Amino acid sequence: MKTTLVIMAAGMGSRYGGSKQVDGLGPNNEILMEYSIYDAIRAGFNKVVFIIKPDMKALMEDICGRRVAAMKAKDGSTVEVAYAFQDFSSVPAWYRIPAERVKPFGTAHAVLCARDVVHEPFAVINADDYYGTDAFSVIYDELCRLPAEGAGTMVGYRVDKTVSANGTVTRGVCETENGRLTKIVETFKIKLYPNGDIRDVENGEDSPLIPPETPVSMNFWGFTPWIFEKLEAYFDSFLKNLPAENIKGECLLPSLVGELIDRGEMTVSVLRSGARWFGVTYKEDKPAVQEELRRLHDAGVYPNLHA
């Protein structure tokens, strides 16, 4: 069956201080999304869609796009590659974009931009995260079982395995029941303290502790094309309610999912994986990620992805 990996790579990496999506971190200068692509293809995915800014296409083709288009999927077919562009041209004509607006409109808008090139069940990920081999296997199996409408899936990770000692992080904090997502709250300032405590400090340092085993979303979602109509309606509503002076507001995928769950329009299975997540939110995270990738190569988990 046709299954697609959608990679959100149009973000600016503001806290990282550069374009972390194309920063070579592996021992052979591999970028993080190349590991996700490799893991996805060996799990069974046979199509890859890159969501990028228009001026990134030539760079993306040079870095990995052409190489991916020459790969063979698990079923023996040639991997299909497509590009979707997240820019202001996809914003509804009725909305006037503030002259000062620079940032894209967030993850919900990013996925909506892929609507014309995704017609099959798909997983969506961040370009700058490492999700682990097993995670792609479990979400591929779940995608093959998803009904055409009203359902989705996600891979959940423990919050204590996703925080950074170098600053606060944003995570979708989840509540689950019987393997289903019941609530998700996009939480913007999760802080790891030296003693191991984890708190959301957006409203102060004395906020309640977040238990280390709390599941969080790392934007590793699985959907069917049914979701695009919901995304379009949600994005329109977001723009209608966005104050003109807010030039950095983002329309976020976890918020849409949470709203659909609240309205009883969607069920979302939460998959647990033994895979370890890691990523680069800050420049200071880079050496640890490089060391983790080197160990994985030394252990034989990955070959030279540029060979």
Identify the band that residue 63 occupies on the pLDDT scale cut at 50, 70 and 90.
confident
- Beta-carbon contacts of residue 229 (< 8 Å; ≥ 6 apart): none
* Residue 14 pLDDT > 50: no
* Residue 13 pLDDT > 60: no
Identify the band that residue 27 occupies on the pLDDT scale cut at 50, 70 and 90.
very high
* Residue 17 pLDDT > 60: no
* Residue 4 pLDDT > 90: yes
pLDDT in tens, 243-269: 988 999 999 999 999 999 999 999 999
Query: What residue segments make up the domains of the chain, in order of their start?
Result: 4-298
* Residue 20 pLDDT > 60: no
CATH topology of domain 4-298: Spore Coat Polysaccharide Biosynthesis Protein SpsA; Chain A (3.90.550)
Q: Which helix (H) or strand (E) holds 292?
A: helix 286-298
Cα torsion at 107, 56, 24, 162 (round to 10°)? Answer: 0
In order, the DSSP letters of 203-253 are T-TTPPBPPTT-EEEEEEEEE-TTHHHHHHHHHHHHHHTS-TT-SS----H
Helix (H, G, I), strand (E, B) or coil at 286: helix
pLDDT (average), residues 140-165: 95
Cα torsion at 271, 281, 106, 132 (round to 10°)? Answer: -30
Q: Are 277 and 161 in contact (CB under 8 A)?
A: yes
0.85 exceeded by the pTM? yes
Q: Which helix (H) or strand (E) holds 287?
A: helix 286-298
Q: What is the pLDDT of residue 176?
A: 96
